[in-house]
């Protein structure tokens, strides 16, 4: 049986978990806690020396990087899915275009979340100029979603949900933990509500919702 190493609080981990569930690929979840350095244990380091989650083990084959894991499963099992249609090179390329953009753009949401929620908990100093830059970076990402990725479309790559939406949703929803004002971006907000309401995506966020409930009890995303 495939093993999936994740931390429920990690955005790319949740995205991969949701994708495996949507595709109904049987797997065993190995939940680690980054907070307690469980990803730095000798056992996990032997599996993935970069000490990052998520990681998938398919027999003797180890796969890292969330987008790579999602695509590996679809390709290896020849799964027919609109999440990443193997028969449509143009749609694959559109999806890949977003997935590449994600790493150096949408992923910046993490920095703001970290400075606002995690740094104070750890007693780390937050430099005001850095925080301001992080806010600007996130605003740029949301504006780009509003005016480009989602312009005239229900989902990032057209009228059907793809890997792009699931990866992006998991990353952006993390900002709900710091009471980010999603309503400022109505198109993006409506899209986020569509994607998070996919049952498997919602379920993969159960642990994240526990944090949201505590930090932001009036969140629109809580059931
Ligand atoms: N590009 C990677 C990012 C993976 C990543 O940054 N994982 C974080 C959790 S969200 C992690 O494992 N951090 C632990 C560390 O760097 O010590 C992917 O998409 O899988």
Mean pLDDT of the chain: 97
Confidence category of residue 151, pLDDT binned at 50, 70, 90:
very high
Give 14-58 pLDDT, tens digit per residue.
Answer: 999 999 999 999 999 999 999 999 999 999 999 999 999 999 999
Q: Measure 107 CA to ligand 1 centroid, in angstroms.
A: 10
Q: Is residue 223 scored above 80 in pLDDT?
A: no
Residue nearest to atom 2 of ligand 1 (CA): 65
Q: Measure 42 CA to ligand 1 centroid, in angstroms.
A: 17
Residues 61, 154: one domain?
A: no
pLDDT computed for residue 158 by the predictor: 97
- Alpha-carbon Rg for the chain, nearest whole angstrom, is 17
With CA atoms as reference, report the closest residue to 17 among 46, 55, 61.
55
Final residue in a domain of this structure, among 76, 103, 136 = 76
Residues 27, 93: one domain?
A: no
Q: Measure 19 CA to ligand 1 centroid, in angstroms.
A: 17
Q: Is residue 157 scored above 80 in pLDDT?
A: yes
C-alpha separations of 160 from 25, 163, 164 in Å: 20, 10, 11
65 lines ligand 1 (CB under 6 A): yes
C-alpha torsion sign, points 55, 112, 219, 101: negative
Residues 121, 207: one domain?
A: yes
Number of domains the chain is built from: 2
**Structural domain for 147, as ranges:** 89-215
118 lines ligand 1 (CB under 6 A): no
Residues 23, 128: one domain?
A: no
Q: Is residue 10 scored above 90 in pLDDT?
A: yes
114-141: average pLDDT: 96
Dist CA 108 CA 200 (whole Å): 25
Dist CA 164 CA 67 (whole Å): 9
């Amino acid at each position: 049986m495939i093993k999936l190493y994740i931390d429920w609080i990690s955005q790319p981990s949740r995205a991969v978990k949701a994708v495996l569930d949507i595709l109904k690929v049987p797997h065993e979840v190995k939940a680690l806690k980054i907070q307690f350095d469980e990803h730095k244990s000798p056992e996990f380091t032997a599996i993935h020396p970069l000490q990052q989650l998520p990681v998938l083990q398919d027999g003797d084959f180890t796969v890292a990087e969330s987008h790579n894991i999602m695509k590996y499963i679809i390709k290896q099992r020849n799964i027919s899915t609109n999440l990443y249609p193997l028969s449509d090179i143009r749609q694959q390329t559109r999806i890949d275009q977003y997935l590449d953009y994600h790493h150096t753009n949408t992923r910046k949401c993490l920095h703001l979340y970290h400075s606002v929620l995690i740094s104070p908990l750890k007693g780390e100093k937050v430099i005001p100029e850095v925080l301001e830059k992080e806010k600007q970076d996130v605003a740029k990402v949301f504006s780009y979603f509003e005016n480009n990725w989602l312009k005239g479309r229900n989902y990032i790559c057209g009228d059907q949900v793809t890997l792009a939406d699931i990866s992006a949703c998991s990353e952006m929803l993390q900002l709900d933990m710091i009471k980010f004002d999603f309503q400022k971006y109505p198109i993006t907000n409506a899209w986020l509500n569509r994607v998070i309401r996919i049952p498997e995506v919602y379920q993969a966020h159960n642990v994240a919702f526990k944090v949201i409930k505590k930090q932001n009890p009036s969140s629109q995303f809580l059931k």
